[in-house]
Amino acid sequence: RGHSHGRAVPAAVDAVVMRLLERVFRRVGAELPSLSPLLFGDGTTLASLHATGALTWASREPGINVYTPGGEFAPHTDGHTLTVLMPLTSSKDASGGGTGFWSEDSRGHRVEPPTTVLKPGAGACILFSGHVTHSGVAVESGERVVLVASVSARPRAGASRVTSQN
């Protein structure tokens, strides 16, 4: 499951990544109890979805992205319900870098720089909708390492999908 630079990580690293995400999901439930029901339905928590294997992950995620000088990730959306981004290195370990976000009313990433750039410290988490345009801002010096996991809930067996008809 876990990946670094698009390659699967060793099983021991994957196990650590899964334990980290388990802790993040439990903390989200404790600190933001209304988030999971809002995103995934009543009575559902990220921790319970994770524990029961009911989450789907973006391709090559969870992943560990390593940014060295000049390293960046082009503006994009993840397309999943929720993205969790956790720096694994201190913000002092690199100059530049960070995660750039564009506001809904911006003219877009091809025209404007990010509306805001966040550079939280190691172990802090940024949670955001996978439909928000964001990027990995270029690192100028040093190294930035982040854990990223974009998740959605697997459709429940027997659940019907509502589609609009024009």
| pTM of the full structure | 0.85
Buried b / exposed e over 50-64, threshold 16 CB at 10 Å, is: beeebbebbebbbbb
Q: From first to last of the 166 residues of the chain, give the pLDDT tens digit.
A: 555 555 677 888 888 999 999 999 999 999 999 999 999 987 889 999 999 999 999 988 898 999 999 999 999 999 999 999 999 999 899 999 999 999 988 887 888 999 999 999 999 999 999 999 999 999 999 999 999 999 999 886 655 444 444 4
H/E stretch holding 47: helix 46-51
What pLDDT, on the 0 to 100 scale, is given for residue 160? 47
Residue 127 neighbours by CB under 8 Å, 6+ apart: 28, 32, 35, 82, 83, 84, 85
What pLDDT, on the 0 to 100 scale, is given for residue 127? 96
* Strands in 5-76 per DSSP E: 7-8, 55-57, 63-67, 73-76
Euclidean distance between CA atoms 147 and 9, whole angstroms: 12
Radius of gyration (C-alpha) of the chain in whole angstroms: 17
Are 1 and 14 a contacting pair, CB within 8 Å?
yes
Residues in the chain: 166
Are 45 and 36 a contacting pair, CB within 8 Å?
yes
* The pair of three-digit structure tokens given for residue 161, joined into one six-digit string: 């999908």
Closest alpha carbon to 126 in 152, 148, 103, 96: 148
